[in-house]
Amino acid sequence: MLFDEYKLPFEMHERVLDKIRENIFRNKKPVFRPQVYILGGQPGAGKSVLTESILKNSDNDNIISINGDEFRLWHPQAREIFQKHGKMFAEYTDADFRTWTSAIFDEAIQNHYNMVFEGTMRTNQICNTIKQKLLPAGYQINILVVAVPEIKSRISIYSRYQEQLEKYPIARFTSRLSHDAAYQGMLDTLQQIESEHLYHTIKVYNRAGETLFQTGDKDIVSAIKKERQKPLSKEDIASLTEQCDILLEKMRARNEDEEYISDLSYLKQIIIKAQQNKKAPLISHFDDMKQSVQNARKAYIKPEAKKLSNNKIREILSFFKNNQI
């Protein structure tokens, strides 16, 4: 099957899970009244900063952190996968990372560990988890969300990838489709969380750490949309433009695929237009996803007719597989 080339045999999969389990639960203890901090925000929004803040400022250091993307690095062939498949690293590690994440999360709940769970809220799966697992287990549910304009998060994805390339043997890239699905889907998930009151505390922050919405306020979706639609400041425009220029220079130097260079160049032009028009740069084209997937499937079936790179085709097909479009 697509992307199953590196799926681990059951015995190896379980051995790695044991290592992850030992690392995650080391020096942590179950508690009588556990708390969970559920983080939401599209890729590139800055959720990791929230995680660091929670772990650093909490009066209780007895908290485990669950970020499934970090589990990918435990794959025994992680370096080989990245060297061979680059930006498709996530797709080729999905089969194992998803079950590892689920197993660790379920074990934490069953044993009443305090935890931080970092996700995107792309689907309402977390709503079902709250109702069916966390609340029955006696957890206090704390929802923390980052509201960030898409122009910033999409550029951050490129920036994070570049930084990791320079510092580590493996770098993590998030596709445009996955970003946009989370950007849109998070709103529906949060609307359900708010309407069904699936929380004890809830807060929305902007990227500067300022509180935009908190427990007792109404209409969380409007609060997020308001922040997303704010025009960029002069400082934002200058910083993002410079960031794009630096990234583009480095991408060209390493002979990056032209489609990614074009994408980042497009984002830079959006920033320039926002400066001229004094309007928020709204650039999502979520409704185009199904057509993009259909085009990719055709190109995959008839490669001689394709205009997309192999990586781009696999990226879109992966989104098709995971989202059942």
- Detail the DSSP E strand segments found in the chain: 35-40, 63-66, 114-118, 140-146, 201-205, 211-214
- What is the DSSP pairing of strand 140-146 with strand 201-205? parallel
Helix (H, G, I), strand (E, B) or coil at 146: strand
Higher-pLDDT residue of 146, 293: 146
Give the model's pLDDT for residue 56: 74
Question: How many percent of the chain have pLDDT more than 90?
Answer: 70
Q: Give per-residue pLDDT as tens, 81-107.
A: 999 999 999 989 998 999 999 999 999
Give yes or no for residue 283 having a pLDDT over 80.
no
CA separation, residue 186 to residues 3, 130, 215, 221, 259 (Å):
26, 15, 18, 9, 27
Sketch the domain layout of the chain as residue ranges. 1-230, 231-281, 285-325
Determine the Cα–Cα distance for residues 80 and 7; give it in Å rounded to an integer: 13
The confidence band for 321, taking pLDDT boundaries of 50, 70 and 90, is: low
Average pLDDT over residues 95-124: 95
Report the residue count for the chain. Answer: 325
pTM for the model stands at: 0.85
Look up residue 102 and give its two tokens.
Answer: 């689920």
CATH 3.40.50.300 applies to domain 1-230: yes
Count of C-beta atoms within a 10 Å radius of residue 253: 8
- pLDDT, residue 68, reads 85
Residue type, 96: D
Is it the case that residue 289 has pLDDT exceeding 50? Answer: no
Cα gap 209→300, rounded to integer Å: 43
**DSSP assignment, residue 74?**
G
DSSP 185-236: HHHHHHHHHHHTT--SEEEEE-TTS-EEEETT-S-HHHHHHHHHTSPPPHHH
CA distances, 306 to each of 91, 145, 178, 321 (Å): 21, 39, 22, 20
CB 229 within 8 A of CB 158: no
